[in-house]
Amino acid sequence: MDFGSFLATPEIKVKVITYRDIFQDKAMIENRFGEGYRNLSAVIKLDPVDLKQLNVKKGDTVILKNSFGRIVVKVDESGYETPHRGIAYMPKSPWSNMLVSDETGGTGIPKFKDISVTITSAKGEKITEIEF
Amino acid sequence: MEKNYHVCTGCSLLCDDIEVEAEKNKINKVHTACRIGVAHMKAGKEEAIFRVDNKPVDEATAISEAAAILKNAKNPMIFGLGASTNEAQKIAIELAKKINATLDDTSSFCLGSLVEALISEKIKTCTLDDVRNKADVIIFWGTDPSDSHPRHLSKYSYFPRGSEKQRGWEEERTAIAIDVRKSHTAKICGNYFFQIPPKGDAEFIDALIAGLSGKLPKTSYNYPPKKILELANILKGAKFGVIFVGRGLIYSLENLEPLFRLMKALNEKANFHLMPMVGNYNTMGFNENLFAETGYVNSVKFENGTVLHGPEYSIVESLKERTVDAALIVGSDPFSILPRSIVKNLLEIPVISIDPYETLTSRNSKVYINTAISGVEAGGSATRMDGKKVSFEPAIETNHPSDETILKKIMEAL
């Protein structure tokens, strides 16, 4: 068991894989400031064992944090049959982009698919707004 | 009965078999389109909006303010245009020349390097119609068209009958997915889904090349060699193979060299083509139009008749290094699609947003001009993801100006 799970508020480290979702894209076309788009975007999907370790359940909010940003999103179970502890999934959105590094090595290409974060329970804190 | 078909500009497939029912210039029903296409075709708004400093103004005021911003800038940038017609893109290129602007689109941080290799004929490609008619082995690598290009599999790549594939997917086509997650497309591929770890693509390519020449395929993540050999055997037997490449693969590679090697190895044993899964409906058009003008597909700066090119002229590096002092953004939402750690710098310079949609970028712009949705409210032409030219008429009438009209007016005002 990771050291993080002995903390008062359990904390785990995950790699985040982003992806596109047709339902989310449809919601974005309809209203990118609407609740529908937010519900389908501000979410992270975890392995059920990782959920348990964080002591959170489906629908709770969690804090995702790294040196580039801190956001609060809802947590969900991934639904994948194969266990994937330490790997989490997020639809590509302004929320996931708050966690992407500004390091590009001068290539012009950010590391969109190379995101690592720590997760803890947000204890009811509200989902982060995307407005600047 | 003659039917009136429309073109959907919801993605780069540019489906040309769409029927709509409209009343009072509002589309109520959309037939044949996918979930994204239906939402896209119905997205037309009633009122045209022009804003300066978040206050409503008339069109002339918005145009003259936009022109003033560009005139006063020493290093303006023009960005976007993937959701603009070829006609609008060509005007934007002229405008960039006129004001010595940096010009870039989303391809600089998406699939631009691959598109440039195709346009320069460094990789064998084909059309989507070829795929429908002939393809027997189809690979989806780091891409999930079931979500991003929803009619890709049903219209072209897997399910349809084709002139040389009358027995279709049940008997004559093998669809393969290589990805870091079991996407909706991967589920359709069933036993031909190869799940690899993040950043594992280059090694998988090497292992596959070894497998193609009968050597033992090895990876540091111990992918079962038997499965890779099984895949290599399917690929060797392809009479018309195609690899659809998405960002999942491109972001995982340091450069395109492993992909070039794979295509070479495949074409020594079989017949393989490659097609990038570009997203916006006319990114391909932008890349082609800019290439025709400059020899580059993106990331250029015009300077008194000469063209400079390199990653330093991409949107990402221009913002990171704060080298541009004003931005004209056409049909794109960098505030949403770029890392916040980089795009926050855009808040420091005046932005002109020309877009059919209210976006984070429009809300953070000094000037916002709400334009017609091309294909729905304005006509023109575009280039499909496979290079095919597609023309379209507006499906409904609107009082919104097209981005082509607005760009022309800004040009005149300068």
Q: For B311-354, write each residue's pLDDT tens digit.
A: 999 999 999 999 999 999 999 999 999 999 999 999 999 999 99
- Kindly report the CATH number that applies to the domain delimited by B112-276: 3.40.228.10
CB contacts of B34 in chain A (<8 Å) are 22
A80/B109 touch (CB, cutoff 8 Å), yes or no: no
Query: Any idea what DSSP says for residue B155?
Result: I
How far apart are alpha carbons B321 and B318 in whole angstroms?
5
In degrees to the nearest 10, what's the CA dihedral of B283, B289, B292, B296? -40
- Provide the token pair at B66: 């936009």
Q: Is the dihedral of CA B255, B261, B264, B266 positive or negative?
A: negative
CB contacts of B108 in chain A (<8 Å) are 108-109
A69/B341 touch (CB, cutoff 8 Å), yes or no: yes
- Domain membership of residue A131 (yes or no) is no
Q: Show Cβ contacts of residue B335 under 8 Å, excluding neighbours closer than 6 positions.
A: A94, A132, B343, B346, B359, B360, B361, B364
A69/B314 touch (CB, cutoff 8 Å), yes or no: no
Query: Using CB atoms, which residue from A25, A82, A102 is nearest to B320?
Result: A102
- Domain membership of residue A129 (yes or no) is no
How far apart are alpha carbons B289 and B298 in whole angstroms?
10
Distance from CA of A124 to the nearest CA of B (A): 24
CB-neighbour burial class of residue B218 (10 A; exposed 0-12, middle 13-18, buried 19+):
middle
- Domain membership of residue A126 (yes or no) is no
pLDDT value for B24: 86
Q: Which single residue is written with the structure tokens 């429908």?
A: B132
Domain spans, chain B:
48-109+281-372+401-413, 112-276
Question: What integer is the mean pLDDT of B71-93?
Answer: 98
How far apart are alpha carbons B96 and B157 in whole angstroms?
38
CB contacts of B146 in chain A (<8 Å) are 22
CATH number, domain containing residue A77:
2.40.40.20
- Domain membership of residue A18 (yes or no) is yes
**Parent domain of A117:** 3-121
Q: Which of A1-15, B75-89, B190-204 has the lowest mean pLDDT?
A: A1-15
Domain count, chain A: 1
**Amino acid present at A111:** K
Say if B331 is an interface residue toward chain A (CB within 8 Å).
Answer: no
How far apart are alpha carbons B270 and B406 in whole angstroms?
49
Residue pLDDT tens, chain A, 132 long:
566 556 678 999 999 999 999 999 999 999 999 999 999 999 999 999 999 999 999 999 999 999 999 999 999 999 998 899 999 999 999 999 999 999 999 999 999 988 999 999 999 899 999 998
Return the higher-pLDDT residue of A7 and B178: B178
- Provide the token pair at B213: 């020449």
Contact B278, B110 (CB under 8 A): yes
How far apart are alpha carbons B203 and B220 in whole angstroms?
8
- Domain membership of residue A99 (yes or no) is yes
How far apart are alpha carbons B10 and B395 in whole angstroms?
14
**Amino acid present at B404:** E
The share of chain B scoring above pLDDT 70, in percent, equals 99
Contact B183, B248 (CB under 8 A): no
How far apart are alpha carbons B248 and A17 in whole angstroms?
10
ipTM for the complex shown: 0.94
Dump strand ranges (E) for B118-173. 137-141
Instruction: Please give the model's pTM, rounded to 2 decimal places.
Output: 0.96
CB-neighbour burial class of residue A86 (10 A; exposed 0-12, middle 13-18, buried 19+):
middle
- Domain membership of residue A76 (yes or no) is yes
Element (H, E) at B273: strand B272-276
Return the higher-pLDDT residue of B90 and B169: B90
Q: Using the predicted structure, report yes or no on whether residue B44 has a pLDDT greater than 90.
A: no
Query: Using CB atoms, which residue from B36, B150, B181 is nearest to A29?
Result: B36
Q: Top-level CATH class of B48-109+281-372+401-413?
A: alpha beta
**Closest-CA residue to B14 (of B152, B161, B200, B208):** B152
